């Protein structure tokens, strides 16, 4: 109010000073009095300056009294600290360590096939039988010889312990018994190759050979493929610069585009070798597969948590500007020290990682700051603004 009184007083003084000579210009010209004309001209110059000052004073009064003056309208966001988890997004493929081709270990006819494709089998279950070519009969013969050799050895041993008979006879019986036992073991091993058994529990995914087909290691052809869909994992190649950020136990989000589904998992293992071709290391993410819908070689999009901050400052990327020096900045608002006016201030900031439309501010903002989000591109430093809701 004191400011308004001062302005009004100055305006009145100027107005009174400007009314000293009321003689019209036309009258002076008609009289032809040169001195009077010069005096009138000087008077008009003075009055012009006074009028300019009066207009300036009146503008000041209008600016103060006009509550609807044109000021930029902005909306602000109060800076708050939040938990920030950054995820590195990569693409990988589903694998399983238990995806095995079963090959025959002996030559012969595939005598029997006991399973069908899609059958669930347990570890050790008999899958197929190859004609042993007389190996079973030979084993029975070796067993009979082993029983005789054992009896002879035990008799010679008792006699030798009673000091009856020669040491040579005892040693020959012992050697013969050991040799026949080895023959039995070899025959049993050979006969075992005629059976094809499941190395682990899983599904028979494919049968490559029909019953009655001659199979053998020389052919190089498998008989069965067995797959375990329980122990599944996604393997991705991660750039080497993230070597220190991604460790076992890190949170992972896995999305399967084909299935339209996602699962939460963790990093199970990180590779110890940097691939020189693409400068990356492998990361293995174990995934649950309770319903059996996830299959080997299925494409997956993997988001690995490589950075976390429990007290991060996040703002929209769209409100950040950059000056000629390459510095990033935003505008904040504060009340003026001597009035209720809201003034803008330009803050230079440094930023970190992004996630979606948000970016982390590492320096330049504090919790509680009011950052301009709408109208940030139309204001300047030190400008008075009006804050609107929303």
> pLDDT digit string (tens) for 256-300?
999 999 999 999 999 889 999 999 999 999 998 878 888 888 999
* Token pair recorded at residue 138: 């030979």
pLDDT at 69: 59
Reported as a pLDDT band with limits 50, 70 and 90, residue 49 is: confident
> What's the pTM value of the predicted model, to 2 decimals?
0.55
Q: Which residue has the tokens 């500007």?
A: 321
Compute the distance between CA of residue 309 and CA of residue 84 in angstroms, rounded to an integer. 5
Compute the distance between CA of residue 253 and CA of residue 89 in angstroms, rounded to an integer. 9
Compute the distance between CA of residue 243 and CA of residue 263 in angstroms, rounded to an integer. 24
pLDDT above 60: residue 7: no
pLDDT at 59: 66
pLDDT at 155: 84
> pLDDT digit string (tens) for 133-169?
776 777 788 788 888 888 888 888 888 788 777 888 8
pLDDT at 316: 92
- DSSP reduced 3-state for 56: helix
Reported as a pLDDT band with limits 50, 70 and 90, residue 63 is: low
pLDDT at 186: 81
Q: Mean pLDDT, to the nearest integer, of 8-35?
A: 61
Count Cβ atoms below 10 Å from residue 316 Cβ, excluding itself: 15
Reported as a pLDDT band with limits 50, 70 and 90, residue 347 is: very high
> pLDDT digit string (tens) for 230-257?
888 999 999 999 998 898 999 999 999 9
Angstrom CA distances, 340 to 65, 209, 337, 371, stand at 14, 89, 8, 18
pLDDT above 50: residue 4: no
DSSP symbol at 318: G
Considering only residues 227 and 33, tell me which one the structure prediction assigns the higher pLDDT.
Answer: 227
pLDDT above 50: residue 113: yes
CA dihedral 257, 263, 264, 268 (to 10 degrees): -80
- Tell me what the pLDDT averaged over the chain comes to: 84
């Amino acid at each position: 109010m004191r400011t308004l009184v001062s302005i009004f007083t100055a305006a009145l003084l100027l107005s009174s000073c400007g009314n000293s000579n009321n003689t019209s210009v036309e009258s002076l010209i008609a009289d032809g009095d040169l001195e009077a004309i010069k005096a009138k001209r000087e008077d008009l110059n003075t009055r012009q300056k006074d009028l300019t000052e009066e207009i300036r004073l009146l503008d000041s009064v209008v600016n103060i009294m006009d509550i609807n003056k044109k000021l930029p309208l902005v909306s602000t966001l109060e800076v708050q600290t939040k938990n920030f988890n950054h995820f590195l997004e990569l693409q990988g493929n589903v694998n399983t360590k238990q995806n095995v081709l079963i090959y025959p270990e002996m030559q012969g006819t595939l005598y029997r096939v006991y399973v069908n494709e899609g059958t669930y089998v347990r570890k050790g279950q008999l899958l197929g039988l190859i004609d042993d070519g007389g190996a079973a009969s030979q084993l029975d013969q070796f067993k009979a010889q082993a029983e005789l050799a054992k009896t002879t050895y035990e008799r010679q041993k008792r006699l030798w312990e009673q000091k009856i008979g020669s040491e040579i006879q005892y040693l020959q019986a012992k050697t013969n018994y050991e040799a026949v036992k080895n023959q039995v073991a070899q025959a049993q091993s050979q006969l075992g190759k005629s059976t094809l058994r499941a190395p682990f529990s899983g599904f028979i995914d494919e049968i490559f050979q029909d019953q009655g087909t001659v199979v053998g290691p020389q052919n190089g052809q498998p008989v069965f493929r067995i797959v375990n869909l329980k122990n599944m994992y996604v393997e991705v190649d991660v750039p080497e610069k993230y070597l220190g950020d991604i460790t076992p136990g890190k949170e992972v989000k896995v999305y399967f585009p084909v299935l339209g589904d996602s699962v939460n998992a963790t990093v199970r293992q990180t590779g110890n070798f940097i691939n020189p071709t693409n400068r990356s290391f492998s990361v293995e993410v174990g995934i649950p597969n309770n319903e059996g819908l996830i299959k080997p070689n299925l494409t997956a999009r993997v988001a690995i948590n490589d950075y976390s901050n429990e007290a991060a400052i996040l703002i929209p990327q769209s409100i950040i500007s950059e000056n000629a020096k390459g510095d990033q900045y935003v505008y904040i608002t504060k009340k003026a020290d001597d009035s209720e006016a809201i003034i803008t201030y330009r803050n230079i900031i440094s930023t970190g990682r992004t996630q979606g439309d948000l970016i982390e501010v590492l320096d330049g903002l504090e919790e509680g700051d009011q950052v301009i989000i709408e109208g940030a591109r139309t204001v300047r430093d030190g400008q008075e603004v009006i804050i609107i809701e929303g």
